[in-house]
Structures are given as structure tokens and as C-alpha cells.
Structure 1
């Protein structure tokens, strides 16, 4: 019971005695001490304001709402020396076109869109996802091309490494399992024809046309790195980020 529920309004109290007609008893209002609210929990309402200047101009895709957690499923790519060496080579060329180029923080391949999950569903969602991924085989991941992408709201352009044909078969199988879970929770599934890729560089705005002229050069750099340094890597787990929480699901 809330402490505020102990506050009562006491009015005049009168009684009429049949043995003493016309006798009036006048009562005084009773004054109760103020309720002790020291142990009542309170929640402060905070207004979240998105400031693009704090994250290199990136714009939030959907507004921040308390209790809603941004969620996506992905495969993490180990940032080995060979990959970082390739990224730096590509960045030099991309910078010649757009000086605002940035290296992506987390090298990964998305297996879902970013969706909104309510806090109380986190445990059920992750448990369901683990069950769905049981008996999925681990596989070797390799890239074979560089592609240009823009996000759904055209606020960023990405230079990305595209997964090869053999990797795509495994990634497609996993993403279909993830889609089944998303549909069960009434969340938006992945793209109908996903292009599995790992974004490595980005610039603000939709500037795909700006980089089409150097795309062949970027792919020649990649081909040389694949020949000399960039090897296939074993993928034996799937990751899920929900807000600031991280979950891992092992593959067979």
C-alpha cells in the first residue's frame, strides 16, 4: 500500500443522545502527522536527447524509449592483423574521395535487422534463440568482393566485405532460424534476399555514387590481400546484442 494512502481527511464528528436532547457535542478536527515517505521508491523521469556530435554524426534510427531495448543478431568477425591491414589500405583510397571516412567499430555480419525488444522479454527471447540454433554447424567464413551499401534511412554509406558463396549458404540457414524467432515475437524479419557482408568503413549520408569510380580499385586490393594474407576464419558461435547486454550461442 502506498504511503500516500494513509492520508485521510477527518471532518466534524457529531453525535445525538436521545437522553439529552438538544445537547450538542462539538468535536475538533484531528490533525494527523505527515506520512513518512522516506521509504517510498521513486523513479526519476529522464528525457533522453540524441546528440549526433557524440558519435561522429551518426543518427539514431528510432527514438530512445525507456523499457525498449535495441536488439540484433550477428556473427562477430575476429579483427586479425590481416583484416586491419586490409582496412587501412582501403581507407587510404576511400579518404581520397571523402575525408569523413571512419572505421567501423565492430566488424561483424548482421543476421537480423535492429529491432526493438521489451525488457521483460529478454530471457524468453534468448532462450528461444538458443533452441532455434541447436544443431547448426560451424563453418569457415571468407570474403570475395567489396560492395557499397547504405542503411534503410540513407543516413550512412558503408564500404563492406561481402561473404563468398560457400559462407552464404551457412549464413542463410542461420538467418532463417533467427527469422522464425523474430516472427514468434512479432518482430520484423531480415531482408528477403539478404546480402551478407561485414561493413568496415563508413561515411555520413547516401554517397554510394561517389565511390563507384574506385570500386574496381578497392576489389583489386582485396584480391591481393586474399591471395597473400586474408584467410578463411572458423565461425563457431552466433552473437546477440540487446541494449548493453551480450549473448553468445555456440554452433555444433
Structure 2
């Protein structure tokens, strides 16, 4: 029962001036010791619902986790590649998980205030609408960990041609981030698409298999991923999704 359910009723200020007014006995204070409460601006994060993943920063009402990325539009050749990759790294004593949103990040995950969402996304569109569409390709396998060292990722690194266009995109977005006093992307970014991940830090062990994994990626055209045309940049703001078109006439 909520503590608000216990309402005490008190007499008016003239009670002591009239003998005809009978004072009502005060109710005992409510026992709230067995009522569990959660602060209005807190959020319980259950790692068991996300394969053990932990938040990089706490959820706070009014703060919207935001990042921009290039969505990978083609999955056709990934299944065979993933089967072979998993076989190579099967010695890791931790289950691997398929990344459920295959993409290439072009910002860090930033925190955006609600009242800035409209202005920020409008500025983002203006900053990239004149940039050319391009062909995205991959050239090698790499392994990464998040900054907290709580997760390890196996990823495909983009080729040099793709990196040239991705740098133009991040430079344009960085200018917008600076206007809003938000952190810019990494100084020397390693553009990549994560495809598998593990809980914990397994970078050293997986790194020993990189040469073999690269051999699988490059051995024949049936496994190697084809290039795909990128015509837009996506942005996720909390539970909202935005898409910004590149200049398809320029590429």
C-alpha cells in the first residue's frame, strides 16, 4: 500500500477556542518499511536480458543515448563466413553472439538532451546531404574491445576506398557535434563492422587467430563479401530512428 493512502485529518485552528469541538485522535504514522520504491529518474538494468551486456553509462530520464552509423544492407554471404569464423575461435570458453545490427559507427555513443533532438538531427542532415554516396567494401579481419573491456568484438575492417568517404562523413558530423559541445569521433578512426561478440576481454586470444581468419575472408569469391552501395546515414536517438540521404548524384 502506498504511503499516500494514509491520510490524516486534523481540526481547524479554532478547535482550542470552542469546547464544543471534539478533537479527533491522531492516526499512527504509516509503516512504509516494507514498501519498495524506485527513484523517478532511475532505471534498473538487467544484464540477463541482454546476454550479459552492461550499460556504458547509466540511464537517466531526459538523456537520450545517440549515435550515427552506416547500416550494412546485405547479409547474403555472412552465414558461411560466420560458420567458418566460429570454427576457428571455438576454443574460447565463452559463448559468441551474432551482432544483431550490422553497421559501421561514424560517431561515438553520445548523450543528447530531449529538447535538442530536433535541432541536432536537422543540423546532421544539413551537414551530410551534399556528401557523395559510395561503394562500401571490406579488406581484413580485426578484433576490438569496448572501452570498459567488458566485451570483445570480431569485426571486418573497411577498405581504403571506403575509408576515404567515411572520413568525410565523420568530419562533417564532428562539426555538428562541436556546435552542440558533444564529443567528436576518434582522431584516427578504424572503421569496421562488428559481426561477433563475447562477454569479457578475449582480444589476445582471438588476435592469435587473425591470420587464419583473414585467409578465410580472402580465399575465394564465394565467401568474400561483395561491395555494396551506401546511400544514407542512419542515426538512433533513444528509441527513435532517423535516416539522412547522401547525394546520390555525386557518387
Q: Give the deviation of 1:210 after TM superposition.
A: 1.0
Q: Give the deviation of 1:11 after TM superposition.
A: 6.0
Superposed, 1:179-198 pairs within 5 Å as 179-198=174-193
| Residue in structure 1 matched with residue 234 of structure 2 by the alignment | 239
- Pair 1:106–1:133, CA change in 2 (3 A): same
What is the Cα-based RMSD across aligned positions, in Å?
Answer: 2.1
How many pairs align?
216
| Residue in structure 2 matched with residue 16 of structure 1 by the alignment | none
Partner secondary structure for residue 208 of structure 2: helix
The equivalent position to 1:204 in structure 2, one of 179, 199, 205, is 199
The equivalent position to 2:92 in structure 1, one of 97, 109, 118, is 97
TM-score, normalising length: structure 2? 0.80
Deviations 1:2-29 (CA, angstroms, capped at 9, x unpaired) = xxxxxxx9867xxxxxxxxxxxxx9xx9
Q: Give the deviation of 1:46 after TM superposition.
A: 6.2
The equivalent position to 1:152 in structure 2, one of 147, 168, 175, is 147
1:69–1:116 contact (8 Å) kept in structure 2: yes
Q: Give the deviation of 1:229 after TM superposition.
A: 4.9
| Residue in structure 1 matched with residue 32 of structure 2 by the alignment | none
TM-score, normalising length: structure 1? 0.80
Q: Give the deviation of 1:155 after TM superposition.
A: 0.9
Deviations 1:187-215 (CA, angstroms, capped at 9, x unpaired) = 11110000000000111122110112211
Could you list the runs of 5+ residues in structure 2 that have no partner in the other structure? Answer: 1-10, 22-38
Q: Does 1:138 align with 2:133?
A: yes
Q: Give the deviation of 1:170 after TM superposition.
A: 0.1
| Residue in structure 2 matched with residue 54 of structure 1 by the alignment | 49
Q: Does 1:127 align with 2:122?
A: yes
Deviations 1:81-134 (CA, angstroms, capped at 9, x unpaired) = 112321232123222334411111100000000000011111100000000012
Q: Give the deviation of 1:241 after TM superposition.
A: 0.3
Alpha-carbon distance in structure 1 between the residues aligned to 2:229 and 2:60: 37
1:109–1:197 contact (8 Å) kept in structure 2: yes
Alpha-carbon distance in structure 2 between the residues aligned to 1:199 and 1:130: 25
| Residue in structure 1 matched with residue 81 of structure 2 by the alignment | 86
2:149–2:200 contact (8 Å) kept in structure 1: yes
| Residue in structure 2 matched with residue 32 of structure 1 by the alignment | none
Partner secondary structure for residue 95 of structure 1: coil
Q: Give the deviation of 1:80 after TM superposition.
A: 2.0
Q: Give the deviation of 1:183 after TM superposition.
A: 1.0
Could you list the runs of 5+ residues in structure 1 that have no partner in the other structure? Answer: 1-8, 13-25, 30-43
| Residue in structure 2 matched with residue 39 of structure 1 by the alignment | none
| Residue in structure 1 matched with residue 156 of structure 2 by the alignment | 161
